[in-house]
């Protein structure tokens, strides 16, 4: 674009971006282009992207995405993709979000067994007939009767018991020894001013005080207001994804903050294939001085990124002409 002094979707010798996307491991992609004039830093670039509905959706609508960025000579390229390990909500592919699994049909519960109309009686043992009466017991004949016992004989008189000997009266007991009165306890002497103070008793240990809440971790990402490199832009994008309040000074912040904070966004994941694709395409833009979706000889981004490792993904390229800073670009996207 610099050499040709024109903005073109594809320059001679540049490969198709769809093919590039398939080669890098993506089987579904979407291409778009954005040209930002005059950003001088990552903050300025992000400001431009932040307030643009299309760019804001791509930057902050998805929960987890892979990204590759490149910047240089006034041009900026970024490529997005969603890995199959994560669920990218609302990233432009409704078929991925709709599932074919239908809930199992509700099986009706079997009706309870109906009881018979006549109650079922429990079986009881049949009554047994009373035993026959036993015949009266006959007395044995006189010849078989046992002889009657003889009357007991009187026992002889027992001899008289000897009387016990008389006991002597008990001796008088000696009186118990008298106890001496207890000695009075010496009163503690008052400490003199010169004497050392007695050791004081320590109060009982009180329970440990509750720990103060740990301070929040330091901000990992920042938005540079003087650096417009790809690394600075990437860092600024993740800073805003984690803390959208960084863009509270933009005029569109109040109307869009609810849509970019629930659910919370995670940082974008830098992908080496996407980084190489973005750097290659950005180099062609610098060489041809043109912002194009595909240059002569360049494979299509979708074909280049297609691979089995991505079940749902898309690629997207952004171009910034005259980038000043990432903050201004994202602010423009946010609007």
DSSP symbols for 98-120 = S---PPPPPPPPPPPPPPPSSPP
> Tens-digit pLDDT profile for the chain (335 aa)?
556 555 555 666 766 666 665 566 544 444 444 444 445 788 887 777 777 776 776 677 666 577 778 877 777 777 776 655 555 555 444 333 333 333 333 333 333 333 333 333 333 444 455 555 555 555 555 555 555 555 556 565 665 665 655 666 666 676 666 666 666 665 655 655 555 555 566 656 655 655 655 554 555 778 888 887 778 888 888 888 888 888 888 888 888 887 777 777 778 878 787 788 888 888 887 888 776 777 787 776 655 555 435 434 444 445 544 556 777 667 666 65
Instruction: Give the per-residue pLDDT at 297.
Output: 78
Q: What's the gap between Cα 314 and its chain centre?
A: 28
Q: How many helices (H) and strands (E) does the chain have?
A: 9, 5
Instruction: Give the per-residue pLDDT at 304.
Output: 59
In a domain, 9, yes or no: no
Q: How many domains does the chain have?
A: 1
Q: Containing domain of residue 250, as a range?
A: 17-92+220-334
In a domain, 98, yes or no: no
In a domain, 121, yes or no: no
Q: Angle formed by the axes of helices 253-261 and 53-60, to 10°?
A: 30
In a domain, 266, yes or no: yes
Instruction: Give the per-residue pLDDT at 306.
Output: 53
CA pair distance 212, 219, nearest whole angstrom: 20
Q: Using alpha carbons, list the distances in angstroms from residue 321 to 14, 46, 223, 334.
A: 19, 13, 19, 18
pTM here is 0.43
Strands of the chain, DSSP E: 35-37, 66-72, 75-81, 269-270, 319-321
Instruction: Give the per-residue pLDDT at 104.
Output: 33
Q: Are 19 and 300 in contact (CB under 8 A)?
A: yes
Virtual CA dihedral for 211, 217, 218, 219, nearest 10 degrees?
-150
Instruction: Give the per-residue pLDDT at 209.
Output: 58
**Could you say which DSSP state residue 245 is in?**
G
In a domain, 311, yes or no: yes
Instruction: Give the per-residue pLDDT at 95.
Output: 33
In a domain, 330, yes or no: yes
In a domain, 141, yes or no: no
Q: Using alpha carbons, list the distances in angstroms from residue 101 to 15, 95, 235, 312.
A: 39, 13, 39, 18
In a domain, 144, yes or no: no
CA pair distance 36, 152, nearest whole angstrom: 144
The DSSP bridge partners found for residue 35 are 319
């Amino acid at each position: 674009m610099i050499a040709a002094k024109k903005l073109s979707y594809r320059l001679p010798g540049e490969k198709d971006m769809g093919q590039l996307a398939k080669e890098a491991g993506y089987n579904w992609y979407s291409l778009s282009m954005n040209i930002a004039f005059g950003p001088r830093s990552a903050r300025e670039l992000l400001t431009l992207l932040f307030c643009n509905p299309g760019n804001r959706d791509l930057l902050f609508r998805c929960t987890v995405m892979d990204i590759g960025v490149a910047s240089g000579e006034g041009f900026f390229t970024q490529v997005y993709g969603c890995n199959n390990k994560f669920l990218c909500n609302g990233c432009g592919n409704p078929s991925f979000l709709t599932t074919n699994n239908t809930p199992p049909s509700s099986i009706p519960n079997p009706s309870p067994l109906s009881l018979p109309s006549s109650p079922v009686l429990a079986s009881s043992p049949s009554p047994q007939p009373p035993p026959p009466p036993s015949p009266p017991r006959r007395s044995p004949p006189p010849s078989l009767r046992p002889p009657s016992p003889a009357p007991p004989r009187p026992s002889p008189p027992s001899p008289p018991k000897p009387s016990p000997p008389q006991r002597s009266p008990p001796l008088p007991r000696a009186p118990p020894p008298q106890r001496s009165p207890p000695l009075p306890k010496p009163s503690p002497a008052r400490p003199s001013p010169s004497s050392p103070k007695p050791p004081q008793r320590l109060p009982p240990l009180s329970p440990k005080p509750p720990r103060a809440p740990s301070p929040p971790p330091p901000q990992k990402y920042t938005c540079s207001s003087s650096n417009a490199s790809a690394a600075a832009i990437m860092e600024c994008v993740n800073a805003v994804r984690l803390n959208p309040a960084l863009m509270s000074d933009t005029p569109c912040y109040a109307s869009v903050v609810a849509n970019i904070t629930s659910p919370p966004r995670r940082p974008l994941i830098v992908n080496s294939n996407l980084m190489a694709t973005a750097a290659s395409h950005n180099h062609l833009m610098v060489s041809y001085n043109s912002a194009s979706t595909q240059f002569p000889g360049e494979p299509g981004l979708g074909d280049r990124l297609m691979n089995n490792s991505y079940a749902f993904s898309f690629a997207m390229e952004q171009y910034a002409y005259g980038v000043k800073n990432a903050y201004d670009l994202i602010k423009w996207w946010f609007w």
